[in-house]
Amino acid sequence: EQWFFRITDYADQLLDFSGIEWPDRIVTMQRNWIGRSEGVEIAFGLDVPGVEQKELRVFTTRPDTVFGVTFMVLAPEHPLIPLITTPDRRAEVETYVEQARRQTEIERLSTEREKTGVFTGACCHNLLSGEDVPIWIADYALLWYATGAVMGVPAHDQRDFEFAQQFGIPVRVVIAPPDWHGEPLEQAYLDPGVMVNSAQFDGLPNDEGKEGIADYVESKGWGQRTVSYRIRDWLISRQRYWGTPIPIIHCHKCGTVPVPEDQLPVLLPEDAEFKPTGESPLAGHEGFVHADCPRCDGPARRETDTMDTFMDSNWYFIRYLSPQYDAAPVDPQRAGKWLPVDQYTGGAEHAVMHLLYARFFWKLARDLGIVQGDEPFLRLFNQGQILGPDGQRMSKSRGNVVAPDEYVGRYGADTFRCYLMFIGPWDEGGPFGIEGIAGIWRWLNRLWGLVLSEPTFGHAPAEAVRHLRRLTHQTVRKATNDMERFHFNTLLAALMELTNGLIRRRDAGPVDRDAWNEAIQSLLLMLAPVAPHISEELWARTGRPYSVHTQPWPAWDPDLAREDEITLVVQVNGKLRDRIQAPADIDEGRARELALASPRVQKFIDQKRVQRVIYVPGKLVNVVVR
């Protein structure tokens, strides 16, 4: 006996990703895992001596192809197989079934491998065409998807086509390709067409035929429209010690009885023995196993399986808010303040396990009134992975593990941190290499000297002050956007540019004290998350209040960040002809005038008629002439 969570009840809700910002690939992976398909469940007649079951049901999204069925496939695990297999086929069937059970689902569904299968010796009856259909077993059919049976339509499914070619099964076209005159197909025809060889449905476009055949099947009582899901209910039973005990008691008199709520939680015993008995370690612990039935007080046994550990990880972020709270899973006030999670970070490998289970558990908790809202994580970011220098995942067995201690000892922790952030986009990762780490170290040393060596303060030209403040506010603007998007590599590049800009301004002559202090303070505040030690040290050495890490992020002023001038690219018929300086607030009319007045542009439009002028604000003017 095993225990499940009925996650399928939430399948449609789990397909809805509205209101959250998740990577497209994760959304696609979850939707494919859930695998919602609308189709028709159709009955095929079954008349096998000694078998009570009189029909074999299949689910199909292509009822328009039912007249093209030339074989039926059962999953190797299908319970009908031992009942319908003929004696002369039994040995071969049993061998094939055993081989299929050793394969993973990925191996079985691979499109690269040669199709395998075995004939059972039995047939079913196509109620629409009136034909008998041989029943085969093939490992590409899965018991846990739909009914575990697949109707083989080789003319219109490539997988079925390859199977039919492998075993010499007839291919019957029922949706005609354009200009088809009955010649054999070289591959399955998958596009729309007109129905043929389909009795009263001949001549219909196949989209109409889908609906027509579905209506016909339902009218005859041979099937019905339905929705099928690839996802199955979540099996949580595990035969191991480490996990949450399943709160169930088995009583000979009362049957299966839940542990009363006032006796929860059921705790693991600390003195279980781990011996290879084939059962859960809890099964051999007499003190744990023996219990009183909550209903009749008679002798009973506890469930000794424990829950899949995803049961704990799928809601840890909820419990973290109030781990000592014992009146409910979470303190409602804290849940209202902190949940749902604004930003969640994790690897893409969790897409169809932890992340899917967490969404399911959240929706269940919402329905129980424990949390509010439809989703646990409003924004998801997948970090990349730094590989070994050889491009392989780091592993002791490969000998490619990079120990940070050596680099921290030589360059300092902040240098190593910054280098890891700088070597590429955080969501991509890549091979580790030491090229460039010395450059990060030199930059931090220049920054150290810049902050601690005051410039000459005095009267600075208004344009120099304006330029310094513009550089500061532009950097804060960029760093703010980069931090929000986890673009740490470009954030660091912006801080390097600001450092170099401040050094040039210092060396150019007297600087304005207020503008300089604003620049240095903003630089240290932006540096703090990426180089926390050096920024704290410099913050203290420049007499600022403890601690840099408790200060607000710097703000930027749009007016101060705006350029006084911009460079407009001027094209003639799409080809670059000039670059001109223009006021940052230039309008389209003035931009057109400046572009047409450019001597470099004029020689390309002389004696030609200007058809139109295209203006991309702040960037480009394209003069179209003929």
**What pLDDT band is residue 461 in, cutting at 50, 70 and 90?**
very high
Q: pLDDT at position 276, please?
A: 80
Q: What is the CB-side half-sphere exposure of residue 469 using CA atoms within 13 A? A: 19
| pLDDT, position 110 | 67
Does 24 fall in a domain? no
Q: What torsion, rounded to 10 degrees, do the Cα atoms 63, 65, 71, 77 define?
A: -40
**Residue 37 pLDDT exceeds 70:** yes
pTM: 0.77
- Co-location of 99 and 195 in the same domain: yes
What pLDDT, on a 0 to 100 scale, did the predictor assign at position 40?
96
167 within some domain = yes
Length of the chain in terms of residues written: 626
Q: Are residues 58 and 204 in the same domain?
A: yes
Q: Could you give the CA distance from residue 105 to residue 145 in angstroms, rounded to a whole number? A: 12
Asked whether residue 134 falls in the same domain as residue 208, the answer is yes
For residues 319 and 330, is the Cβ–Cβ distance under 8 A?
yes
**Residues 527 and 584 grouped into a single domain:** no
pLDDT of the residue at 566: 83
The CA radius of gyration of the chain, in Å to the nearest whole number, is: 35
Q: Are residues 519 and 582 in the same domain?
A: no
Domain stop point among 307, 325, 343: 307
Percent of the chain with pLDDT over 70: 99
Q: What CATH number did the domain enclosing 506 receive?
A: 1.10.730.10
Asked if residue 15 is part of any domain, the answer here is no
C-alpha span between 318 and 311 (Å, rounded): 13
Looking at 102-260, list the stretches that DSSP marks H as alpha helix, in order from N- to C-terminal side: 105-109, 158-167, 206-220
**Are 550 and 570 in a shared domain?**
no
Same domain, 88 and 126: yes
Residues 6+ apart with CB under 8 A from 388: 394, 395, 398, 400, 401, 402, 431, 432
DSSP state of 17: -
Tell me: the pLDDT tens digits for 389-422?
A: 888 888 888 888 888 998 999 999 999 999 999 9
| Sheet containing 255-258: order of strands | 255-258, 248-251, 299-302, 290-292
Cα separation values, 243 from 144, 177, 278, 351, 551, Å:
26, 57, 17, 22, 42
CATH of the domain at 609: 3.10.20.590
Q: Which residues pair with 30 in a beta bridge?
A: none
Position 538 pLDDT exceeds 80: yes
Is the pLDDT at 459 greater than 90, yes or no? Answer: yes
Cβ neighbours around 474 below 10 Å, total: 19
User: Is residue 205 domain-shared with residue 83, that is, in the same domain?
Assistant: yes
Distance CA 314, CA 364 (A): 11
**pLDDT for position 399:** 87
430 falls within a domain: no
> Does position 564 have pLDDT exceeding 80, yes or no?
no
Instruction: Give me the residue label for tokens 């604000």.
Output: 617
* List of residues 6+ apart from 602 with CB closer than 8 A: 596
Residue 187 lies in a domain: yes
pLDDT confidence of residue 546: 93
Which of 195, 228, 261 represents a domain boundary (last residue)?
Answer: 228
Lowest mean pLDDT among 145-149, 199-203, 213-217: 145-149
Q: Is residue 477 part of a domain?
A: yes
> Does residue 276 sit within a domain?
yes
**Residue 325 CB neighbour total at 10 angstroms:** 15
CA distance 374 to 351: 18
Question: Same structural domain for residues 519 and 549?
Answer: yes
Are 625 and 601 in contact by the 8 Å Cβ rule? The answer is no
Kindly report, residue by residue over 589-603, the tens digit of the pLDDT: 989 999 998 989 998
The predicted-structure confidence for 109-163, as pLDDT tens digits, reads as follows 666 778 899 999 999 999 999 999 999 999 988 887 788 999 999 999 999 999 9
Q: Find how far residue 355's CA is from the centre of its chain.
A: 8
Same domain for 62 and 178, yes or no, is: yes
Q: Where does a domain end: 164, 199, 228? A: 228
For residue 291, the cross-strand partners are 300
Q: Same domain for 552 and 568?
A: no
Q: Which two tokens stand for residue 476?
A: 């804060």
- Cβ neighbours of residue 273 under 8 Å, at least 6 residues apart? 281, 284, 285
Instruction: Determine phi and psi for 76, rounding to 5 degrees.
Output: -55, -25
Q: Is 366 inside any structural domain?
A: no
> pLDDT (tens digit, 9 = 90+) per residue, 509-518?
999 999 999 9
Cross-strand bridge partners of residue 151 = 72
Residue 576 belongs to domain spanning:
564-625
From its phi and psi, is residue 106 left (phi > 0), alpha (psi between -120 and 50) or beta? alpha
Let me know whether 548 and 602 are in one domain: no
- pLDDT (0 to 100) of residue 111: 65
Q: Are 140 and 159 in contact (CB under 8 A)?
A: yes
pLDDT at residue 429 above 90? no
- Give the HSE-up count for residue 179: Cα atoms under 13 Å, Cβ half-sphere: 0
List Cβ neighbours of 456 (8 Å cut-off, separation of 6 or more).
Answer: 509, 510, 511
What is the average per-residue pLDDT within 540-567? Answer: 91
Q: How many domains does the chain have?
A: 4
Q: What pLDDT is attached to residue 235? A: 93
